[in-house]
Amino acid sequence: VLGGMVMAYFLLDVSFRDFALRIPEAVSVTSLLIGVGKAPVFAALIALVGCYQGFHVSGGADSVGRQTTVSVVQAIFLVIVADAVFSVLFGMLGI
């Protein structure tokens, strides 16, 4: 929300006050809490994949680059899958 406020101020000439007054109309509390709740799950997935792939580095810098690429691809994939799972679960719950 803070990032959106800053971008709206600089790019769209929307004052901080106007943004703060309009945000409750545009974003429900439920949506905000869902976003705040999903973020730590995504962060944990990214950190776990990065650590797991980091433990598989062997040899030199070439291996570091290869494992970094693998970890980025795996992390992106897992975040997309986790977001899909969240969407299905929240849909089943009617949220």
Residue 57 has pLDDT above 90, yes or no: yes
Q: What is the spatial distance between Cα 7 and Cα 16, in angstroms, rounded to a whole number?
A: 10
Spacing of C-alpha 42 from chain mean position = 6
State yes or no: pLDDT of 1 exceeds 90.
no
Alpha carbon distances (Å) from 13 to 5, 9, 16, 22, 33: 10, 5, 9, 14, 27
Q: Which pair of tokens denotes residue 10?
A: 């600089």
Whether pLDDT at 95 is above 90: no
CB atoms within 10 A of CB 49: 20
